[in-house]
């Protein structure tokens, strides 16, 4: 008879060793677990994790999570932060955080393109420019206000009017959490319009040498240096205009 003798593997009982193996798995592919949640359409778990970035739960964050997960499954793409997958967002509100977290397309890895258009919409595209654009239907916003009037009242008071008493702020977060997770069960087509698009996308982000500012001494990206009176100066030291992204959009600072 032939004996099939398999090597004996010691069970891993040491918690420290288990944690080390888990950490190695995450380090080798930081988005592995997130990718699995996206493919399995586990929106509730994705929303919980997105809340860690956003700080609280709200309908905008939930819609960003829903849109991002849907688009990634439709395109069958995974993100690795190397500009192979790009997200074009048209708003800088809560929706954008859901998009960034789920897609992995962020400002820092040059995979997020922000268009200051004020529309709750996103386009997810590969480098060939072919992608999917999702936008929130206007009538759904109206229906949501009618369905959740107490959340709308608290939103107006706490966020719009900045009347942020501790009691109202706590209640706002509770209501926001309830509404957000309820939205995940709504039929996707009731909330979003979807279309296949072809868009123009920029080249890969260029890498520029850094230059020391003769004014403050800090290291500055070479394309942001101003030559003035024989010196290399950063924009603030040169008293030059610049742009910044804030709550109201992209603004020109004089």
The mean pLDDT value of the chain amounts to 93
pTM of structure: 0.88
The CA-based angle 36-127-221, given to 5 degrees, is 100
Query: What are the pLDDT digits (tens) for 101-142?
Result: 999 999 999 999 999 999 999 999 999 999 999 999 999 988
Q: What domains does the chain contain, in order, with CATH numbers?
A: 21-136+188-198 (3.30.1330.20), 210-253 (no CATH)
The pLDDT-based confidence of 170 (bands split at 50, 70, 90) is: very high
* Res 67 pLDDT > 90: yes
Is residue 12's pLDDT more than 70?
A: no
């Amino acid at each position: 008879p032939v004996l099939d003798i398999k090597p004996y593997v010691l069970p891993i009982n040491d918690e420290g060793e288990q944690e080390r193996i888990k950490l190695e798995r995450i380090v080798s592919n930081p988005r592995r677990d997130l990718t699995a949640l996206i493919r399995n359409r586990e929106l509730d778990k994705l929303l919980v994790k997105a809340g860690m970035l956003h700080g609280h739960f709200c309908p905008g964050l939930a819609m960003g999570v829903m849109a991002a997960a849907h688009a990634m499954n439709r395109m069958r793409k995974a993100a690795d932060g190397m500009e192979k997958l790009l997200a074009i967002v048209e708003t800088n509100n809560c929706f954008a955080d859901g998009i960034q977290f789920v897609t992995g397309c962020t400002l820092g890895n040059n995979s997020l393109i922000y268009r200051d258009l004020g529309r709750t919409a996103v386009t997810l595209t590969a480098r060939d420019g072919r992608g999917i654009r999702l936008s929130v239907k206007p009538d759904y916003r109206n229906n949501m206000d009618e369905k959740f009037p107490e959340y709308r009242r608290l939103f107006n008071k706490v966020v719009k009017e900045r009347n942020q008493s501790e009691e109202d702020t706590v209640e706002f977060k509770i209501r926001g959490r309830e509404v957000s997770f309820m939205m995940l069960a709504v039929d996707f087509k009731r909330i979003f319009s979807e279309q296949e698009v072809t868009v123009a996308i920029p080249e890969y982000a260029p890498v520029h040498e850094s230059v020391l500012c003769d004014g403050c001494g800090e290291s500055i990206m070479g394309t942001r240096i101003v030559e003035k009176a024989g010196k290399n100066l950063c924009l603030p030291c040169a008293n030059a205009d610049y742009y910044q992204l804030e709550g109201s959009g992209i603004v020109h600072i004089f």
